[in-house]
Amino acid sequence: MAASAGRQISINWGNTSPATEIGGLREKGIELNSEPIDITSDDDNGWRALLTIPAQAEVNISLSGVTVDDTLKDAWFDGNRTETVLITFADASTMLGTFYLASYSETGTYNEATVFECELQSSGAVSYTPAA
C-alpha cells in the first residue's frame, strides 16, 4: 500500500443515496478488534492455545473535527443512532457496515472553532473490499 494523507479517507453516515459525508473531520481512527477463544488444556503442556475463530469481532471508529453541520448530533437526539457507515480509503478500498453512535461531544472554547468527537461501534458484520 502506498503512503497517503489522512484527509483522503472519507466517512459516510446513513443509508440514503448519496449518504451524508461527515464533514469537518480532522482525525479518524479505525480499530479492528477480536476476542479470542481460549481452548487451552493439559494437552498443551502449559502453552496457551487459541481457537482460530474469534468469540467476538468488532470495529470501532473514533472521529474528531471542526463542527460544520449537525448530522451526528441530530442523529443522536433523533434516536437514529444506528446507521450504515461507508469508509472509503485513499486507494479506493472500502469498509461497509452498520454502526452505533456510541458517544458524541462538542467543545467550544472562546475565540476558537467548535469541535466535536464521536465514537462509532460496529453492530453486525463489517465488510472490507480491497482496491481493484
Domain ranges of the chain: 6-129
Residue pair 72/22 in contact (Cβ under 8 Å)? The answer is yes
Question: Tell me: the pLDDT tens digits for 30-73?
Answer: 999 999 999 999 999 999 999 999 999 999 999 999 999 888 99
Q: What is the DSSP letter of 16?
A: S
Residue pair 100/81 in contact (Cβ under 8 Å)? The answer is yes
Residue pair 128/95 in contact (Cβ under 8 Å)? The answer is yes
Which CATH number is 6-129 given?
2.30.110.20
Task: List beta partners, residue 31.
Answer: 60
Tell me the pTM: 0.86
Cα-Cα-Cα-Cα dihedral sign, residues 34, 100, 11, 19: positive
Higher pLDDT, 97 or 15: 97
What is the per-residue pLDDT for 33?
A: 95
What is the per-residue pLDDT for 17?
A: 67
Q: Convert 91-129 into a string of H (helix), E (strand) and C (coil).
A: CCCEEEEEEEEEEEEEECCCCCCCEEEEEEEEEEEEEEE
* Rounded Cα distance, 84 and 109, in Å: 32
Q: How many CB atoms lie within 10 A of CB 12?
A: 19
1 band by pLDDT with thresholds 50, 70 and 90: low
Question: Tell me: the pLDDT tens digits for 94-112?
Answer: 999 999 999 999 998 888 8
